Structures are given as structure tokens and as C-alpha cells.
A = this chain, B = another copy of it.
Amino acid sequence: MPELWYGGDYNPEQWPPEVWAEDVALMREAGVNLVTVGVFAWSSLEPSPGRYEFGWLDEVLDLLHSNGIRVDLATPTASPPPWFSLAHPDALPVRADGVRLTHGSRDTYCACAPAYREAAAGIARALGERYAGHPALAMWHVHNEYGTVCYCSYAAAAFRRWLRERYGDLDALNAAWTTAFWGQGYGSWEEIEPPRATQYLVNPTQALDFRRFWSDELLAAYCEQRDLLRESSTLPVTTNFVFGAWVPVNHARWAREVDVVAIDHYPTVAGIGAEEQTALGADLARSWAAGKPWLLMEQAGGGLNEGKRWHTKEPGRMTRHSLAHVARGSQGVLFFQWRASRGGSEMWHSALVPHAGSETRRFREVTSLGALLPRLAEVSGSAVTAEVAILWDAESWWAMQATHLPSSEMDYLAAVQAAHRQLWTGAVDLPGPEADLSAYKLVVIPSLYLVADPEPIIGYVEGGGHVVVTCLSGIVDENAQVRLGGYPGAFRELLGIRVEEFHPVDEVLLESGRRGRAWSEHLELAGAEGVDHYASGVLAGSPAVTRNQYGAGIAWYVSTQLDDYLAEPLREAGVERPDLPEGVELVRRTGADASWTFLINHTDAAAVVPADGVELVSGQEVAESMELPAGGWAVVRSPVAPSGG
């Protein structure tokens, strides 16, 4: 992939052919060079079982090709056609309460249903065979946003198979699930059910395993299609990762099976949090890719979905978000969708060509961005490195969700976001808990509740690494069972502390004047020193933040939820961070002979930022610093990679 991709989901089947010509003309005007075609087009491609209608797609691909636009061709399996649901009602998904959903939206299938898998393989194979050789093709895009779960009997059977595989025998499962609690001991595999609607609290390990199972089951469904496509084609295959609390997909693990990590990113707030989320999403994607290319596959052209309303992106904001992704390594900028739909469930989803048409501020910004990206093309293939890491593990997220914690206010994602928020204006890596951490000066470990093996982390500190561990880390093992003897079981020695009891609270004051939220702990020092203490409540006077020398390294512990706890650890770890006004990003990509510093001012005031080199768009030389206007940005090329992150 020699250039930065630009474009997005293109759904010509939603429009009469006469619109296609205008589409392609506008794409050329906008500098679009890649479109994702075919997502959700199953009912257009196979309007009745086995009867394919490829003519319109042939026409579209030829048209795109003749206009120099490449295609990311999708398998349409996220939305089986109505005829499929009518023929196979047993393949419709079932909720935990037993309600079988009907078609009329999207994702109305169970990935465990044999008929579904067969039909999905059929259309994927047919697409592979027909279009593998089409010159427009750049990439394959399997399915869309894998994440749908189901509680039907197929799912139950598949879950049992997965459990047999994991545990081998029932004794191991009964032990791992603590089924002796509430008399849930299983005597045969057939007795095991998905965590369907039940009387009261569910078994947390059952719930966790169900999520792990679904990640694996969906991954198998993906691999099935990928392998079919590979039978016909050598082009890269991917699927677009969707991120959310409900998604049973361990992206770090899936990343090994895609040729290009691709993410959809939709911030959920309208304020500066949208930029923080953008930075976190891009950092996650790059970390999942672990050196492989990655790509922003979807973002919204015009809106930020706050749930109760779509906040409209201000002029320039779409561009800044796009640059933020490129800065952190994306090979391009893609959107959902090209042209706003007149009807259908997402008729109010923003697009590159809005309902008002191309004579709009929105489309003008699209065109400007399309003109800009080629000027940044030289960054393609360069790397982003970080001195600081935040550990990320989907299993900790799921395990925290699966149990009834002493406080409902403890949330894994929020803890990671709180850590990342202290670092977001630069690049941060988010490796998994078993990664090699030796390259990092500091590793933050926010609420890493489930730790299967603490050794990689302990060894990192022993060897001189610095870590900051926050509350609810190291609590349970891989079976979500508490590590006994005092919290946090996995890290007691590392941290030089022992926690006897949790004290969930609304808020608690610290001696430093900071306020901890939701959580506090009755903590005893066992080698560590107390560096901040509780100053209110029943724990007043006892340690709240500790620091422990361990081997050649340092291990900090933060026993409550704080907004700002990294300043001192960063200093001590020797992490140098540029002095930036709040809301200004500085991220560097590094190539063989040059580095490129992306400077993005997300504020509504001008900002002076450090910069040395040549600004790519203006061609101006800058030395030491430059001023970015409100909402402005710059990409500065330097001949050698400067130090610092």
C-alpha cells in the first residue's frame, strides 16, 4: 500500500444507476482512491437462494476502475436477506431471555447456525471467484463489525464444544467455575447452558467463558470466509473491528488473523473527549496491529453520536480527526458512508455527500481533505513509537463486567481512559499483559482485574522497568477466581503492599488534595512507601498511593480512582514529554531517513508548539517552534528523528 487511502463505504445499490456517474465524478473531485463496496448487499447480490445478480456490481467495479478508484470488496454476510430468514427461522438470533429476533434490521443471524455458515460461505466463495481478478480490487473486507451474540441451542452446543476443548473434563470446569457455589455442579456436558435469563446473579466465570467462546466462534466464522477468499485471491483480507462494551471480540487476538487491522471509530461524546477517544482508538489499533499496517475503515463524516443526539462536527474537525488517525499510523482515512441514504435505518447518519448534495460546506471539506492527503503520502509506511504503554486486555474488561463487583462504578474502560487521558496528546502503546515490555520507560496498568500470568510484568520491573498499577488490578486468575491472601494477589510482592478490604465510596479526599472516586482500600505497607494518604473517611491516615523499589525497577500503586497520577512516575521514569497547551496533540511518525511530527490544535485559541523542519503543506521551514491557529495543524518533516515521544 504505497499511498494514503481516502474514501469510505460506497453503497450504489441504494441508488439508481444514474446517480453512479455523479458519484464517481464527485469521488474524483474529492480525491477518493478507495471505496468499500458490498457491505450489506447480500439481498441485492443474491435476491433468491443461489440466484446471483452480479451485473450491477460488475458495472460499478468497472466504473470505479475506469476512474482510478480502488475497491475494498466486502462480503455481505452481516445482513442475510429476508428469504434466508424465512427459510431458516432457526438461524435467527435468540436473546438471553429466549426471544427470537426477526429480520428487519441487520445482524439477524446466529453465527453458530449451520445454515447461516453455509450460506455465508456460499456468497463469500462466489464473490471471491468472480472478483479476485478484477483490476479495481485492492482488498477484501469480510463481513461487518463482528459482535453479534446469540443464546440459541446451536450457540449452546457450540459453547459446550468450546468448553470441552478448554477444560478437557468436567471436574476442571466445575473447579474453574466454582460451581460448588449455589449448587451448580455439572454432571454432564449436556447440562451446561449459555448464561441465559435466570433467577438472580449469573455465574461470573460462565459469563466470561461465554464471551471468550463468542470471540473464538466469530473468529472462526471470519477465518472461514478469509480462507475461501484466499483460495481465489492473494489480496489482503481484513474485517472492520468495532469497539464497545457489548462486543465479544478480543481484538488483540483477532489482529493475528487479519492482513490489515481495520477499525471503525465513532466517538461517543461531543467535547474534547471525542479527540481523546480518537487518540485512544488509533493507539489501540496500532497496538493490535503490532507492526502490521492498520487503517481507519469507518468514521462519521459529520457527526459525533452522543446517544441522545448527533453533535455536528464543527468546520475543520473532521480533518483534524482524520489527521489524528494518520499521525498515529493509519494508512488512510475512510468513512461510513459516501452518500447519505434517503431512507432506511441510518438515514440520519452523516455522510461525505450529505442530503443537501455536493454544494455544501461538508463536501467542500471532504474535497479539501482529499487534496491534502496526497501531500502527506510520504509518511506512509513510517512507524510510530511510544515510550509509555498502557496495558490493555479485553479479558479484564469482560471479567469485570461478568461479576458483581463491590461497586457498580468500577469500569475497566473508564480506568484505561483515565490513564490514557493523561497521555493522549502523544502516542501511547497498548500492548497486552503478556507482551515484551522492555522497550517502554513506563507501563501503566489500569484495573487489570484478570491476570493469568503476572510474570512478564514482574520480570519487566525486576529488570528495571517502571509500572503504575491502579486499583482492581491483579485480583483474579484466568478463571476469574480471586487470588487469595490479600489483594492484589498477582502483584502483592511487586507492589510491596497488602490490601485487606475494599472500601467503595462516593468520593474520598487525599492528603495531596486530590479526590479519589468510587473506590478506596484498606492497604498495608509491606515494603512499599506511602506517597499519598487518605485524608477523609474511615481510612484517613492510611496509604492511598504507594511506591515500591522492586529489583531494578519501581512499582507504583494507586488504590483509588484518580484523574492525575502519572506526573511523578513519568518524571522518575525519565519520560520526556513536550510542553504543550492543553488540547494540542503532538505525534511523531518515524521513517528510515526522516520523521514527521503531526501537530494538531484542537482548541479554539492559537497555540505555540515545538517544531523543527519543513511543514509539508506550506513548504515553510520552521525552527524550534511555530504557531498553530485555533483549530490548525501542521505536519513537519525533520531529517533525523528527534529524541522523545
Contacts and interface: CB of A to CB of B under 8 A. Distances in A.
Interface of A: 11, 13-14, 40-44, 47-48, 76, 79-83, 85-86, 93, 95, 97-108, 148, 176-188, 190-193, 195-206, 302-303, 308-312, 314-315, 340-348, 354-357, 360-362, 403-409, 479-482, 484-487, 498-505, 518, 522, 538
A176 B342 CA distance: 10
Q: How many copies does the complex hold?
A: 3
Contacts of A202: 104-105, 345
A187 B47 contact: yes
B44 A409 contact: no
| Secondary structure type dominating chain A contacts | loop
Contact of A105 (B99, B198, B409): B198
A409 B198 contact: no
Query: Which 10 A-B pairs rank lowest in CB-CB distance, beginning with the nearest?
Result: A181-B344, A178-B343, A43-B185, A82-B191, A201-B345, A79-B183, A105-B198, A309-B504, A356-B486, A178-B344
A97 B486 CA distance: 44
A374 B284 CA distance: 60
B501 A360 contact: yes
B343 A199 contact: no
A538 B314 contact: yes
A491 B487 CA distance: 59
Contacts of A184: 43, 79, 81-82, 103-104, 344
Contact of A481 (B95, B314, B342): B342
Given A98-B100, A204-B344, A205-B343, 12 more contacts: A40-B181, A79-B182, A82-B184, A82-B192, A93-B199, A101-B196, A101-B199, A103-B193, A201-B345, A203-B344, A347-B481, A361-B501
B310 A180 contact: no
A201 B105 contact: yes
Nearest to A341: B181
Contacts of A522: 312, 361
Contact of A177 (B93, B97, B195, B343): B343
Contact of A203 (B104, B183, B303, B481): B104
A99 B479 contact: no
A190 B86 CA distance: 8
A11 B498 CA distance: 26
Nearest to A39: B183
Contact of A187 (B81, B101, B481, B505): B81
A309 B408 contact: yes
Contacts of A80: 183
A101 B198 contact: yes
B355 A487 contact: yes
Nearest to A302: B501
A199 B107 contact: yes
Contacts of A187: 43, 47-48, 81-83
A104 B193 contact: yes
